[in-house]
Chain A
Amino acid sequence: MFMVSIFLLLILFSIAAFFVKKKSWEFSMISSLIILLLVFIYALLNFWSGYNGGIISNYHLSLVPSIGINFSSGVSSLTLALLLLTTVIMPVAIYTARNGRYASLFYGLMMLTEVGLFGLLISRNFIFFYIFWEAVIIPVFLLIAIYGSESRETASLKFFIYTQLGSVFLLLSILTLFAFYYNLNNVFTLNMTTLLSGQFINGTAVPIFWKYFVIFGFIFAFLVKMPSFPLHSWLPDAYNSAPYPVTVILAGGLSLMGGYGFFAILLPLSSIIPSAVLWIIISLGIISLVYFALVAMMQNNLKRMLAFASAASMGFVNISFGVGIMETGSYGIQELTGGIYQILAHGLIIALLFATLFAIKSKTGKENIHSLGGIHREVPVLSSIFLGGLLASLGLPGFAGFISEFSIVAASYAILGPLIFLVIFGMIITASYHVWAAQRALYGPYNETLGTINDIGRNDIVVLGSLLILIFVLGIYPNLIFGVISKYVGVFL
């Protein structure tokens, strides 16, 4: 009930945000912080002791029980990790939108995005899962279309159509499960726990063809969201054209949707995923990692480079999922937990990078590597935070990304064998372009045409610095989250 109350409060906040005309930034900032605080308190109360890996805080509200449409919600440690991610990202994104040229519509839409993500994560009924899946897309589409920079029309439409295409398959898969369950039991239900239970899915109720159909639909929908090569074309344009606050949400928040789908829906179905399909997922992961890293290396625009960097590090999630299901025992758990941790770490790190890049952009007016150069001389603190983000992003130990990348790489040798060298190649390229970009943009002789610029103020240091510290803490003391996530994973292995 606590969780549902937070959710209702969030809905109220987001509706109110449309109508608060004065001080709308302050309003959305405070309300997102309240939500963060409440989720954090909820986590403290429920997860750091006695959690056993199941779904807790179940809440059920019958709406149209005759056809299975009910609102039911529940929280697992997977959900919790991503809820925390969403609620942490939100204040950062709103903070990025602080300079006041946005109307209340903007903040309302931002809050509505959070509503969608929040609802998606806590839903335990497929119809609401689907509604929120869609509900996230619409405000983001509008945000890009209204507030985006050059080529926003193409970008927002590409984003919309790609994800709609994924949603269609998602819906088809859900309806298939729904129909076959009715066929078997004469009961309409859309309850996720029921439809994904091993009892139903492993039995003979669903013919083998339709099982594959369901698997395919889910995987396709989630791969688009991830995004995985070759379904990624929407991503660089959307990230690039969106205004920075929206980019922060896109990169930090929306990127969790694909991964969440993998671990919340496909992991329970893992027994019916053929290993050939798992190998396709792994291959797409490795290709994404290497391909996006190589493409990112040549980008001159830092925002675009970070967009590809984001996509590349989501490749690890693919690898983790495919490899983890094929493995058994404790390193399978390590592998899958690493994948979930990667979603979390990636979201925080990429949000930090975009928020910091925004600060660079607003200080210098530039986001191209060639137009920057040597800015460390003028803005040492800002440039150090950006470097910290870059180092975290390339998976350096001490930052959260290392914990996940280590778990994924270390445990994957059993399945990948020599293929691991390709993963390592991708990681070397990743390291290279990160420090190469830092060398050209931050270091070297100062580009005097930028004139005199001031370093960031105290508020910026607090916001960006605390995000960096959070990433650091999660890299030094991962068991804050890692332990409870592995309990969730352990249920399925």
Chain B
Amino acid sequence: MIDYEWFIFLSPIIAFPISFTVGRYRRNLAGYIATISILISFILSFMVFLQIRGTSSPVYQSYNWFGDINVGIYIDHLALVMILMVSFVSLMIHLFALYYMGKDPNKHVYFAETALFTGGMLGLSISSNLVEFFLFWELVGVCSYLLIGFWYFKPNASSAAKKAFIVTRVGDLLFLIGLSILYVSLADKVASPLSIAYIVNPSSWPQILNYVGTTNLTLIGLLFMGGAAGKSAQFPLHVWIPDAMEGPTTVSALIHAATMVTAGVYLVARVYPIYLHSTAALDFVLFIGAFTALFAGTIGMVVNDLKRILAYSTISQLGYMFAALGIGSIIGDSAISFALFHTMVHAVFKALLFLAAGAILLTMMELRDVKKMGGLWKRMPITMTLMFIGAITLSALPFTASYYSKDTIIDASWKFFSSNGYSLFSFLPWLMLILGALTTTIYTFRFFFLAALGKPRSELAGKAKDPSKIVLIPLIILAIIALIMGQFQYLFYDFVYTNTIQVSIPYIVSLAPSMMVLLGLLITIPLYATSGWMSLDLRKSRLYRVVKNKYYLDRLFTNDIAERGIIPLSSGFSTFETYFSKSIEAIGSGTLKLGSFFRRLQNGIIEYYFVVLVIGISIILLIVELLGGF
């Protein structure tokens, strides 16, 4: 009944209780159990790859779960690249975490939870039904909640965990409404209304269009995008992710590279036929993505916390992926290939960057301010070289992996512009994406130069040194992949979707992204590779203040909506409740004189009272029984 493919996600999920229980007694074993379980997932994923690489027929199994909801697995090429990526990157992160979390007294809890986290993401990737998808979606959410708050005794950590949970929950529930609309439109008419296999099958679309209608499809697309925005930290639901940096750095690596933020991109890609039938929903995805790419990039330029810079870069890069998906009205299913390739590339180099950051922070005692670092390249040469590879890939320097994956997306957005008759409206995505590329280069080299070059600006930075080479092996593997991955661009495109088109745009326009990288270098090298930034004082600039305060969005959510909206509403209702209750009591005691009634009951004989009552009832029943004869 259950084939080996199920163990792709079951293996880490089963490891969760095992490594937790075993780890209670032998702390060191927990990490190995979790890592091995993920290695098993990776091997199984690879076996599936060998099995279906040549065919287009997916692995599909489905059983009844409850009502007309099914549960099962559905592995096509799209799901396959996802599970390969998730299990591989997660494996690398786990290997590094064996060292990084080595001294933590609660590391068995950590490894149990990261295994579950990975299992959730793998389960989500191969779900055959949207409700099952939603289950794993929430499992991923709750694991991130637990892991962000892993150092629960830090007030910041527990508050960040709460924030992450609530903000993503808002998105999740929008997703749930989308599911609800789809469900009521299809239930009663098809056997399994929320089956992914049914939705992605082209032959079911005449039916779906007929039953659901285009208006509802648009609505579903928008709501699903709401859910995706929560998980994948898109504007305006991105506010949780910078705070989520309070967890261990390896957790950040997991969240940002493999197990969480890509879930939203994958959701949109998974149900892409819905979007292809609604231009409005596609445009919405495109504009949210493009806007987020630029928006988060600008914040990334002014933040000083190393991990938060990487967090904003994640938000911005995810924006590119969504933008790619939003261009589907022009390039059709090829959009999935473009988005997924950037997802893969991003997963690799972001894992690399975070792990390198983890190595730095371990030696820096969690001091995360890049302005307090400096001169690290000299002191930790291997780590910083690995980080450099990650950084140039992030900034899409020509011939790095991102150069291929991201520039294709920017080119495609020009295609969107030209195919829409060069209207101003359709120009905006390209403009935002190209400016986003500029911000990417600036924030990348700003943090890298600040950390790597110059003189150490704190005592800790002066004493920093490389960890042993063995623990850096996962990073080296990731770095090598980041360097060569770009060459497999078209192979990958064709694997995900056989007819991926090649975007052809004027040569001069296709040079623009690289020009932006050059421009970014021209700005950052004189400023941050030297000590030029020290004399730079932007604090008087109003624009700087706005960006530095993250466009006041955090303040809007925490202060205005939560503290000035929900809390007063809630306390108003509780005050009302108190008075409501009091007035009921007043009516009661006033009219019925209950107090005296109660005093009579309290006469000390109440225990006998009740036994008498029971006996009385029994006697009555007995008499009735005896009389029942006639």
Q: Which of A233, A424, A428 contacts B584 (CB 8 A)?
A: A233
Stretch in A170-178, A193-201, A204-212, A438-446 touching the partner = A438-446
Q: Which of A158, A413, A424, A478 contacts B173 (CB 8 A)?
A: A424
User: Is A376 close to B, CB under 8 A?
Assistant: yes
CA distance A444 to B152 in the complex (A): 6
B166 → chain A, closest Cβ, in Å? 5
Q: Which of A330, A391, A446 contacts B142 (CB 8 A)?
A: A391
Residues of A within 8 A of B567 (CB): 297-298
Residues of A within 8 A of B165 (CB): 431, 435
**Residue interface bits B242-261, CB-to-A below 8 A is 1, else 0:** 00000000000000000000
CA distance A300 to B137 in the complex (A): 31
Counting chain B CB atoms within 10 Å of each CB, the highest count among A112, A139, A409 belongs to: A409
Counting chain B CB atoms within 10 Å of each CB, the highest count among A333, A414, A483 belongs to: A414
Main secondary structure of the interface of A (DSSP, over half): helix
B418 → chain A, closest Cβ, in Å? 38
Q: How many residues of A contact B (CB 8 A)?
A: 75
Q: Quick one: closest B residue to A299, CB to CB?
A: B574
User: Is B590 close to A, CB under 8 A?
Assistant: no
Residues of B within 8 A of A442 (CB): 152
CA distance A53 to B461 in the complex (A): 72
CA distance A413 to B165 in the complex (A): 25
User: Is A329 close to B, CB under 8 A?
Assistant: yes
Q: Quick one: closest A residue to B624, CB to CB?
A: A63
Residues of B within 8 A of A411 (CB): 180, 183-184, 187
Given A410-B184, A445-B153, check contact A402 B135 (CB 8 Å). yes
CA distance A407 to B134 in the complex (A): 13
State whether A410 touches B162 (Cβ < 8 A): no
Residues of B within 8 A of A297 (CB): 566-567, 570, 574
Residues of A within 8 A of B153 (CB): 374, 376-377, 443-446
CA distance A282 to B173 in the complex (A): 20
CA distance A374 to B577 in the complex (A): 30
Q: Which of B152, B155, B183, B624 contacts A410 (CB 8 A)?
A: B183
State whether A424 touches B177 (Cβ < 8 A): yes
Residues of B within 8 A of A146 (CB): 606-607
State whether B588 touches A161 (Cβ < 8 A): yes
B603 → chain A, closest Cβ, in Å? 12
Q: Quick one: closest B residue to A327, CB to CB?
A: B184
Stretch in B60-68, B271-279, B345-353, B451-459 touching the partner = B60-68
Given A236-B581, A291-B573, A443-B153, check contact A334 B68 (CB 8 Å). yes
Interface positions, chain B 138-159, Cβ under 8 Å from A, are 138-139, 142, 145, 149, 152-153, 155, 157-159
A343 → chain B, closest Cβ, in Å? 16
**Residue interface bits A118-137, CB-to-B below 8 A is 1, else 0:** 00000000000000000000
A89 → chain B, closest Cβ, in Å? 22
CA distance A142 to B580 in the complex (A): 25
Given A233-B581, A428-B166, check contact A330 B187 (CB 8 Å). yes
User: Is A69 close to B, CB under 8 A?
Assistant: yes
Given A297-B570, A429-B566, A443-B149, check contact A161 B594 (CB 8 Å). yes
State whether B585 touches A158 (Cβ < 8 A): yes
Q: How many residues of B contact A (CB 8 A)?
A: 66
User: Is B571 close to A, CB under 8 A?
Assistant: yes
User: Is B3 close to A, CB under 8 A?
Assistant: no
Interface positions, chain B 160-176, Cβ under 8 Å from A, are 161-162, 165-166, 169-170, 173-174, 176
Q: Quick one: closest A residue to B135, CB to CB?
A: A397
**Residue interface bits B551-588, CB-to-A below 8 A is 1, else 0:** 00000000000000011011101100100110011001
State whether A420 touches B180 (Cβ < 8 A): yes
A299 → chain B, closest Cβ, in Å? 7
Q: Which of A112, A139, A374, A413 contacts B184 (CB 8 A)?
A: A413
Residues of A within 8 A of B581 (CB): 233, 236-237
A490 → chain B, closest Cβ, in Å? 11
User: Is A213 close to B, CB under 8 A?
Assistant: no
Residues of B within 8 A of A424 (CB): 173-174, 176-177
State whether A64 touches B628 (Cβ < 8 A): yes
State whether A398 touches B138 (Cβ < 8 A): yes
Residues of A within 8 A of B598 (CB): 145, 153, 157
User: Is B225 close to A, CB under 8 A?
Assistant: no
Residues of A within 8 A of B625 (CB): 63
State whether A409 touches B142 (Cβ < 8 A): no
CA distance A295 to B566 in the complex (A): 11
Interface positions, chain B 53-102, Cβ under 8 Å from A, are 64-68
User: Is A482 close to B, CB under 8 A?
Assistant: yes
CA distance A414 to B135 in the complex (A): 23
User: Is B627 close to A, CB under 8 A?
Assistant: yes
State whether B155 touches A444 (Cβ < 8 A): yes
Q: Quick one: closest A residue to B156, CB to CB?
A: A444
Counting chain B CB atoms within 10 Å of each CB, the highest count among A18, A333, A406 belongs to: A406
User: Is A65 close to B, CB under 8 A?
Assistant: yes
Interface positions, chain A 408-462, Cβ under 8 Å from B, are 409-414, 420-421, 424, 427-429, 431-432, 435-436, 438-439, 442-446
State whether B177 touches A413 (Cβ < 8 A): yes
Q: Quick one: closest B residue to A341, CB to CB?
A: B66
State whether B588 touches A158 (Cβ < 8 A): yes
Stretch in B331-339, B479-487, B517-525, B609-617 touching the partner = B609-617
User: Is B181 close to A, CB under 8 A?
Assistant: yes
A300 → chain B, closest Cβ, in Å? 10
Q: Which of A334, A402, A443 contacts B152 (CB 8 A)?
A: A443
Given A298-B574, A443-B149, check contact A479 B184 (CB 8 Å). no
User: Is B382 close to A, CB under 8 A?
Assistant: no
User: Is A105 close to B, CB under 8 A?
Assistant: yes
A78 → chain B, closest Cβ, in Å? 16
Given A330-B68, A410-B184, A445-B155, check contact A439 B607 (CB 8 Å). no
**Residue interface bits B297-320, CB-to-A below 8 A is 1, else 0:** 000000000000000000000000
Q: Quick one: closest B residue to A69, CB to CB?
A: B624
CA distance A446 to B173 in the complex (A): 33
Residues of B within 8 A of A402 (CB): 135, 138
Residues of A within 8 A of B137 (CB): 397
CA distance A236 to B582 in the complex (A): 12
Counting chain A CB atoms within 10 Å of each CB, the highest count among B183, B567, B585, B611 belongs to: B183
CA distance A247 to B68 in the complex (A): 36
State whether B64 touches A414 (Cβ < 8 A): no
CA distance A412 to B628 in the complex (A): 49
Residues of A within 8 A of B176 (CB): 406, 409-410, 424
CA distance A161 to B592 in the complex (A): 10
State whether A428 touches B170 (Cβ < 8 A): yes
User: Is B179 close to A, CB under 8 A?
Assistant: yes
User: Is B601 close to A, CB under 8 A?
Assistant: yes
User: Is A228 close to B, CB under 8 A?
Assistant: no
State whether A138 touches B613 (Cβ < 8 A): yes
A144 → chain B, closest Cβ, in Å? 12
User: Is B537 close to A, CB under 8 A?
Assistant: no
B605 → chain A, closest Cβ, in Å? 12
Given A153-B598, A295-B573, check contact A482 B67 (CB 8 Å). yes
A322 → chain B, closest Cβ, in Å? 16
User: Is A294 close to B, CB under 8 A?
Assistant: yes
A64 → chain B, closest Cβ, in Å? 6
User: Is A337 close to B, CB under 8 A?
Assistant: yes
Residues of A within 8 A of B66 (CB): 403, 407, 478-479, 482-483
Counting chain B CB atoms within 10 Å of each CB, the highest count among A65, A139, A333, A428 belongs to: A428
List, sorted by A's number, 20 A–B pairs whose CB atoms are closer than 8 Å. Answer: A65-B628, A298-B567, A330-B68, A331-B183, A331-B188, A374-B152, A376-B152, A398-B135, A403-B66, A410-B176, A411-B180, A412-B180, A428-B166, A428-B173, A432-B166, A443-B153, A443-B157, A444-B153, A478-B66, A482-B66
Name the 5 nearest CB pairs between A and B, nearest first. Answer: A443-B158, A397-B135, A298-B574, A443-B152, A478-B66
Additional pairs, 14, CB under 8 Å, beyond known A330-B188, A442-B152: A105-B607, A138-B610, A153-B598, A157-B594, A294-B574, A297-B567, A329-B188, A334-B67, A337-B67, A397-B134, A398-B139, A424-B177, A428-B169, A478-B66
